[in-house]
Amino acid sequence: MNWVALAVFVLLFGFVTWLGFAAARWRKGDLDQLHEWGLGGRRFGTMVTWFLIGGDLYTAYTFIAVPALAFGAGAIAFFAITYTILIYPLLFVVFPRIWRVCHKHGYITAGDFVRGRFGNRWLALAITVTGLVATMPYIALQLVGMQVVVGAMGVSGSGLLGELPLIIAFLILAAFTYTSGLRAPASIAIVKDILIYITVFAAIIIIPIEIGGFGKVFSAVPPEKLLLAMPGPNSTGAYGAYATLALGSALALFLYPHSITGILSASSGHAIRRNAALLPGYSFVLGLLTLLGFFAIAAGVAGLPQFAEGFKEFGNNYAVPALFLHAFPSWFVGVAFAAIAIGALVPASIMSIAAANLYTRNIHREFINKNPTPEQETQMAKWVSLIVKAGALVFILFIPTKYAIYLQLLGGIWIIHTLPAVMLGAFTRWFNSWALLVGWAVGIALGTIMAAATGLTPTYPLVIAGFSLPGYTALYTVVLNLLIAVVLTPVFNAIAAARNAADQTAEADYVA
């Protein structure tokens, strides 16, 4: 047991717990209104939105898994930096339009927007279910990140005792989310990012000095972990996988319910545009974080006997905790591990709120209780947020972690199929809603089949005329989704134009 690290960890964790409950009185509003509880009253300015979206996208699992991928697989991990650069032009162009129409019409979710834009509740239901299914394992993986750092401090055991720290963290997360809504993760995100920046900059300066410089770091990386070898004459090899993973991930990221929730909580479309310019700062930090995987290789932490049990239990995910334990004094290890654990609380809170908003607005109100009072609607969302977090905890306690990881990989393949209705819907009403629904169904089914055929890995070796194109399954299937929607739209319009319901929005709603 590393008592010094644990004491610092508990102190910082206790502070953010207090902050989460105190956030209910920050920018005080009526938390019995769903837009106040679930979107912070849509009053977050540029800086708060910057911390909130950054905390939303750059999660505890990112801080553990991306360096772990660099440690285990090598340079392919840097696709994460490429796609976080690509996402911000999309944020700048697309999402201020969506924010404006959602603000004018009181929409809280992507399902609300699709329902209003296309007038088809079944298409809205498809968007909603996709978001819910993609989000659940994502919350579970935040708890995995927390589980790794808690175990690295020596807090372990069998049965319920071994899982007690995770259960306590879940109860804290559930309580302050229920009480404070989106205000809680917005306030905690500021503390989390300060700790992350301190940790990353300390690591990027101190660890190379201890190893002997960046030259020794890069020379220690085996050649097979670099994208140096040209692919075969009939294959794009790792280059195709790298490029399609980057592009497909960029198209999918802001379609997740938690991303859209963070965006819709902004005070204006201008705040979103300013964030599109400021958020690449996080991409820079992510690049430094990815290098930690190479630092772990150079430091040889996998061969040190004191870390053998940790690598056995957590695999490559243990690389960053082992590196910090090896390189830093115990008190700073506590700071770094607290940053990662708090980095789990922020996105897990937002994800559970986003899932609750989706269920309440687009399933419960649409199909069960069509005329709830604002108080009933908000109370339902609060209860659903607890149920969602409980489901994530069940994943971790009773189901092997690899299944949560597999489902999260599938989540990216699924969520991208909301792109035609959401992103393209922000610019055009040309598509027939039933054509969009058919395209969505085919894309989801084919993406799942392709992922299953490759052992639930995210890439698929597509072969065309003897030429192999290994690439991200999500990108391949969303292209098919779009082609189906384009082909079927004039067909469906000709057959039953009257069934293509009226648009509840107007073009002026999208323009500043």
DSSP-based three-state secondary structure for 490: helix
Q: Which stretches within 157-230 are classed as H helix?
A: 159-180, 183-211, 214-219
- Enter the DSSP assignment of 472: E
Res. 497 pLDDT band, cuts 50 70 90: low
Residue 475 maps to a domain: no
* Tens digits of residue pLDDT in 319-354: 999 999 999 999 999 999 998 888 888 888 899 999
In a domain, 45, yes or no: yes
pLDDT at 498 over 60: no
Q: By C-alpha distance, which of 330, 331, 307, 306 is closest to 320?
A: 307
The CB-side HSE value for 147 (13 A sphere, CA atoms) comes to 25
| Rounded-to-integer distance, Cα 139 and Cα 169, Å | 13
Given a cut of 80, whether residue 162 has pLDDT beyond it is no
Q: How is the chain split among helix, strand and coil, in percent rounded to 5?
A: 80, 5, 15
Q: What pTM was estimated for this model as a whole?
A: 0.91
pLDDT bracket for residue 295 (50, 70, 90)? very high
Mean pLDDT, the chain, rounded, equals 88
Tokens of 501: 């319901």
With vertex at residue 275, the alpha carbon angle to CA 414 and CA 94, rounded to the nearest 5 degrees, is 50
For residue 424, being part of any structural domain is answered with no
Does residue 230 fall inside a structural domain?
Answer: yes
Q: How far apart are CA 204 and CA 214, in angstroms?
A: 10
* Domain count within the chain: 1
Residue 312 lies in a domain: yes
Q: Among the listed ranges 53-57, 76-80, 500-504, which one has the minimum average pLDDT value? A: 500-504
Task: Dig out the tokens for 151 from the structure.
Answer: 């175990």
Q: 90: part of which helix (H) or strand (E)?
A: helix 79-105
Q: Does residue 164 have a pLDDT over 70?
A: yes
Q: Encode burial over 301-324: b for 16+ CB neighbours within 10 A, e otherwise.
A: bbeeeebeebbeebebbbbbbbbb
The whole-number pLDDT of residue 450 equals 93
- The answer to whether residue 510 sits within a structural domain is no
Between the CA of residue 59 and those of 189, 341, 401, 465, what are the distances in Å?
Answer: 11, 9, 17, 41
Q: Which of 274, 356, 199 is nearest to 48 (CA)?
A: 274
pLDDT at 403: 64
What are phi and psi for residue 472, nearest 5 degrees? -70, 125
What is the residue whose two structure tokens read 């052992």? Answer: 455
Residue 364 CA: distances (Å) to CA of 101, 115, 130, 369: 23, 14, 16, 6
> Which residues are 461's β-sheet partners?
470
| CATH assignment at residue 253 | 1.20.1730.10
Two tokens, residue 354: 């986003």
Any domain includes 512: no
- Residue 84's domain spans which residues? 3-404
257: tokens are 């319910």
Two structure tokens written together for 46: 């540029």
Q: Is residue 46 part of a domain?
A: yes
The residue behind tokens 């902050």 is: 19
Question: Residues 377, 154: contact at Cβ < 8 Å?
Answer: no
